[in-house]
Amino acid sequence: MGNTHFKKFVISGLITSLCAPAISYALSVIFEVHLTLPFLLIIYFLPLTIYFFDFSYKQYRLSFLAFLPAFFSVGLILKYSENKFLLIYLIALVSSLCYPIFLKDITKKIPLFKNFVVATMWAILVIIFSTYFELSFSYLYWIFFLLVFIRTFVDISYSDLKDINEDKSRGVKTLAVTVGIDKTIIILQLLNLLSGLIIIILSLSGILPLISISLLVPIIFSTLSIYYFSRRSNFSTLVVDLEYLFWFLSPLIVRILWNQ
């Protein structure tokens, strides 16, 4: 594989992994938790390790460098956290690394398996967040587990649209391959509507903190972007990357305005 493609992949991995700190920041604002630099590094290195491992495994070039972020994370955990969190972290890491080795073939047999597995991996960040900060895992975290799952399911499924021909040739049964482009877009917009309604209803009813309303911004951005790009048959991954920028910016801006 060319050096240019490798650099592009590395840069993409570095950017995509920023989604984890963005989600964590939104959770910290909503649940009034003070984020620490060690946690942000740990949570950033987790998807980065998975990303680099997946790339190395595909290229049959597994090396020490692919696991370097994970080694840094374990060192930070041993210094700043408890053994229980280390166990949760290692379970999340190992189960994610097993996906390209043992589970990839299942994506050719079970429709949407890839979409559900990857979305679940990202949603586990909610459990990692609550465990690190030793929070009681109430039903509120299950609500956010569901929200993160829906949001990442939408983003993953949208990203698959640009790879639909490649996935078809490899026999991977993603949502796009299973139901087609038009129906996929309809399903994703319905999921956008569902996640928006969950936030509105639960925030206004007092079940979720009112500041959770700020998460409507990335959902609205996703809805409008999917509509705009799909009409032009341009399935840009910019939609995915920028949505998580708003997971960071929206709660930040609302909190600043709230405290004035």
State mean pLDDT over 90-94: 91
Q: Is the pTM of this model over 0.75?
A: yes
Token pair belonging to 204: 């206004």
State the burial class of residue 238 (Cβ atoms within 10 Å of its Cβ: 0-12, 13-18, 19+).
exposed
State mean pLDDT over 165-176: 91
Q: Are 216 and 196 within 8 A, CB to CB?
A: yes
pLDDT score at 220: 94
Residue spans of the domains in the chain: they are 3-258
Res. 56 pLDDT band, cuts 50 70 90: confident
Res. 177 pLDDT band, cuts 50 70 90: very high
pLDDT score at 243: 87
3-class state of residue 147 by DSSP: helix
pLDDT score at 127: 92
When the pLDDT of each residue in the chain is averaged and rounded to a whole number, the result is: 87
Token pair belonging to 114: 């890839």
Reported as a single tens digit per residue, the pLDDT across 1-41 is 455 555 556 677 788 888 999 999 999 999 899 999 999 99
3-class state of residue 9 by DSSP: helix
**pLDDT exceeds cutoff 60 at 103:** yes
Reported as a single tens digit per residue, the pLDDT across 198-239 is 999 999 999 999 999 999 999 999 999 888 887 776 666 666
Give the contacts of 58 (CB within 8 A, at least 6 positions apart): 100
